[in-house]
Amino acid sequence: MVHRRRGAVASTVLAVVGAAGLVLMLWIIYSSTAGAASELLVPILLALVPLSIVLVTVRWIDRWEPEPPGILIAAFLWGAGVATVISLVVNTSASLLVSSATGSVTGGELVSAVVTAPVIEESTKGLGVLVIFLIWRRTFNGAVDGIVYASVVAAGFAFAENILYFVQYSDALLVTFLMRGIASPFAHVTFTACTGLAIGASARMRSSLAWMWMTPLGLSCAIVLHAFWNGMLANDPSLYFFVAIPFFIAAIGLVIWLRWSERMTMRQRLADYQRAGWFSPAEVTMITTGAGRSAARRWAKSRGPVAARAMGDFLEAASALAQLRQQAIDGHADADFAAHEASLLQTLSGSRHAFSR
């Protein structure tokens, strides 16, 4: 109960700070339009397109063990409000400083794009993922969770940044939208996912301090990828087809493999409870396959709303139980492990009784 209360307070604080930053960011963009609020409507609507693509994909990745909505909202607002404002200030200052020192506006923009932007943007986005990890470590159960939170932070960042670019390049809005919204909606997501993957992977390591060396490793990869992406596009946009697309395909393959590995881990942990009599083999198969879950939900729905809710509670409790046991095996069991486990087992029994009668 104390953990939940503290978590609720923390997520509220992060969300409020992020929302304030997003409002500030929109105000800055609004000011650049000479006070014409109508000129913001189309950019915002266009920015919602890549955002929707990313969020739908994240939902697919996260469907086995959904993360708490409140934390995901805080993650999104961190990216959209905190990371964007800090990055805008630092990147603009660096560009102006280099331009004044060299007398070259182009040189200042290039330094900002290839050096300053990758370092500052990935650091601020990665910091958001790390803050979430340190506060809600219980919700991190591996690399997939890290990718999910990193993707949501990056989605928020890209959303606010896209609005800025769509306003800034309104004279070439269609081309800008196609390049940023259609051709590369997952660019920021892919970069920051490196940091998230590393932080998430550290949760499965025996040392509780593994994040201290895993985070810089993931962040370094994110910065290098971001710098390479910006430099590649600035030098030769045609490389997008020969480098970016194959890389994104490889990234998709990695995510699919990680999801499969997560599902196999869940099956192994539930098999432990199966041997103790808490599940039947058919239930373990049902819980750990997409087709099985869908069929179970359809069957329960046909029996009425009470059975449908009970089946949802059953699947959620089973996933949480598998997570809890895996954390204990990894050496990260909390002091209330036994009480939490007993509560989940009780939920399983009650839900099974509700949808079976």
Output the DSSP codes for 304-330. -HHHHHHHHHHHHHHHHHHHHHHHHHT
- Check residue 232 and give its pLDDT: 79
Q: Are residues 130 and 62 in the same domain?
A: yes
- pLDDT tens for residues 67-87? 899 999 999 999 999 999 999
State how far the Cα of 47 lies from the Cα of 181, in Å rounded to an integer.
Answer: 7
Tokens of 130: 């790390």
- DSSP helix, strand, coil percent of the chain (3-state; round to 5): 85, 0, 15
CA distances from 241 to 110, 236, 246, 247, 250 (A): 22, 11, 8, 10, 14
Residue 2 has pLDDT above 60, yes or no: no
Domain-located, residue 229? yes
> Which of 151-160, 191-200, 330-339 shows the lowest mean pLDDT across its residues?
330-339
Q: How many domains does the chain have?
A: 2
Domain-located, residue 193? yes
Section 139-168 average pLDDT? 94
* Of residues 35 and 106, more confidently modeled: 106
Domain-located, residue 17? yes
Tokens of 19: 């929302």
Helix, strand counts (H, E) of the chain? 16, 0
Domain-located, residue 228? yes
Domain-located, residue 137? yes
- Check residue 114 and give its pLDDT: 87
Q: Are residues 216 and 294 in the same domain?
A: no
Q: How confident is the model at residue 35 (pLDDT cuts 50, 70, 90)?
A: low
Residue 333 has pLDDT above 90, yes or no: no
Inter-residue contact 165 to 44 (CB < 8 Å): no
State how far the Cα of 195 lies from the Cα of 50, in Å rounded to an integer.
Answer: 21
Q: Find the domain containing 304 and state its range.
A: 263-356
* Global pTM value: 0.92
- pLDDT tens for residues 93-118? 888 888 888 877 777 778 888 889 99
Domain-located, residue 133? yes
Q: How confident is the model at residue 241 (pLDDT cuts 50, 70, 90)?
A: confident
> Which of 232-246, 262-276, 325-339 shows the lowest mean pLDDT across its residues?
232-246
Q: Are residues 233 and 269 in the same domain?
A: no
Domain-located, residue 9? yes
Average pLDDT, the chain: 90
